[in-house]
Amino acid sequence: MPLFRWNESKSCTRETALKEWVKQGGPCLEPLLTGCAFQTLLADSYHAACRTADMASRPYSLHASVAFLQTTLGQPAEALRAVIGGFHDKRLEEYRIAFGPRDGNTVFHGVIWPLLGAEDETSDVVGEIESLLRESGIKEILVHGQQFPYEFCDDCGAPLYPNIEGDSVHAEMPEQNNAPSQTLH
């Protein structure tokens, strides 16, 4: 017997089922997730669903990071710079995106963009990252062509991010004196 609606007949595709699920399921889930951002996805096999969720979370993490920095620093996105670097172990493993002030070399925050599925050096992942950053309001984006070593901080284990000079550095938020307390959810 068919397990999913799109298996029942040829008139219902996955895309049609997703549209209906968003239309019907979204309003049912929204009261349960008050104040939370969520995206409804179709049911799938375990590993396929995890991969789909991982791919959907990458753009969200970039937008959320820019919003977080704008709120925390009290500055518009235009005041930030993004630096993108490819981090390699034996091959390209991930891109790391560092956020810092447009007029400085420090790194405030970073996001990891892991390569998933068939993505590799030949994929236009950097172009996708750049377009998402521009959507978020970042005007200055620097892409390093060099290969960064796949390394982490020896003391705390945090990933290191590229700065504008091409070094791998620790991301640290600036200290804020007399900053009003804010609750971020």
Q: In angstroms, rounded to a whole number, what is the distance separating the alpha carbons of residues 11 and 22?
A: 18
* Model confidence at 109: pLDDT above 60: yes
The domains of the chain are located at 46-169
Q: In angstroms, rounded to a whole number, what is the distance separating the alpha carbons of residues 162 and 55?
A: 22
How buried is residue 40: exposed, middle or buried, by Cβ count under 10 Å (0-12/13-18/19+)?
middle
For residue 58, count other CB atoms closer than 10 A to its CB: 18
* Model confidence at 27: pLDDT above 60: yes
**85, β-bridge pairs:** 96
The predicted-structure confidence for 122-159, as pLDDT tens digits, reads as follows 889 999 999 999 999 999 999 999 999 999 988 889 99
Rg (C-alpha) for the chain, rounded Å, is 20
* Model confidence at 185: pLDDT above 50: no
How buried is residue 42: exposed, middle or buried, by Cβ count under 10 Å (0-12/13-18/19+)?
middle
Average pLDDT over residues 34-60: 87
